[in-house]
Amino acid sequence: MKYCVITLFPELIENAFSTSITGRALSEGILSLDTVSLRAFSQNSYGSVDDYTYGGGAGMLIQCEPVWLAYQEALSRIETKFDEECDELSTIREEKRTRVIYTSPAGRVFDEGMAEEFSREESLIILCGHYEGVDQRVLDRIVTDEVSIGDYVLTGGELPALVIMDAVSRRIPGVLNNEDSAGSESFENGLLEYPQYTRPKEWRGLSVPDILLSGDHQAVETWRLTEAKKKTKEMRPELLEKWYKDRGIM
């Protein structure tokens, strides 16, 4: 997977992504990361890329041209061709081209299903907004997926980009090794994960459930499923309802 992130803060993306598991996958060449600085495409001598919004209102908006030029740069870096003459949005969307994710609180809420879908792409361009966001015209022109990481507003799109990249990356073969293996994570089977325990058996008067020490694999599996349902009922009852419905129960 090749990521190219268009951002005002390339170092934030690079530093965070080159840490821990994703950092190892970068050094092993399983993932690649490129960043394009929006500021490099400023249209003025101050290096700014934002301006006031038409129609009034507080806050600044990122302008079209720096984003458009940064997008061209991102495309050329991931070696994808794009026909500049192609003005029809519908025609552009029909072409097989690199997906462009715009991180936005007004987007579709990111989930494991989306992570799975994105992980099947060869490359992804991620555009991080800032200030009040980005001029709609350039978004209409280049964005294929507008994605939110939840119903709250952050100051910029860099953390959402990292969240998306992390969730996508761990689905790519070779990124996780045995020690950090995906196992049966929350959402994998539609339920949240059951509680887990490691050594020691006794910790400050609290014991690991006996069943996990029994060596009876079938009993352990049954216990885990029961606990996963219990946890899902408590935290996300709508997921448990769906789990039953998908299995024709209820």
Give strand ranges (E) for 49-122.
50-52, 60-62, 99-109
Regarding 38 and contact with ligand SAM (CB under 6 A), the answer is: no
Long-range contacts of 244-249 (CB under 8 A, 24+ apart): 246/190
Determine the interface stretch with ligand SAM among 69-77, 123-131, 188-196, 240-248 (rule: CB under 6 A).
Answer: 123-131
State which residue, 33 or 149, has the beta carbon closest to ligand SAM.
Answer: 149
Instruction: Based on the shown chain and the rule CB under 6 A, indicate whether residue 103 belongs to the binding site for ligand SAM.
Output: yes
For ligand SAM, which is the closer residue by CB, 110 or 223? 110
Task: Give 3-state DSSP helix, strand, coil % of the chain, rounded to 5.
Answer: 40, 20, 40
Q: Which of 104, 123, 169, 232 binds ligand SAM (CB under 6 A)?
A: 104
CB nearer to ligand SAM: pick between 66 and 129:
129
d(CA 128, CA 4): 11
Binding piece for ligand SAM, criterion CB under 6 A, among 14-22, 25-33, 104-112, 210-218: 104-112
Task: Please give the structure tokens belonging to residue 250.
Answer: 């209820």
Supply the minimum distance, in Å, between the C-beta of residue 110 and ligand SAM.
Answer: 8
- CA separation for the pair 99, 118 (Å, rounded): 9
Among 149, 167, 191, 192, indicate the residue that binds ligand SAM (CB under 6 A).
149
The pair of structure tokens assigned to 187 is 């959402």
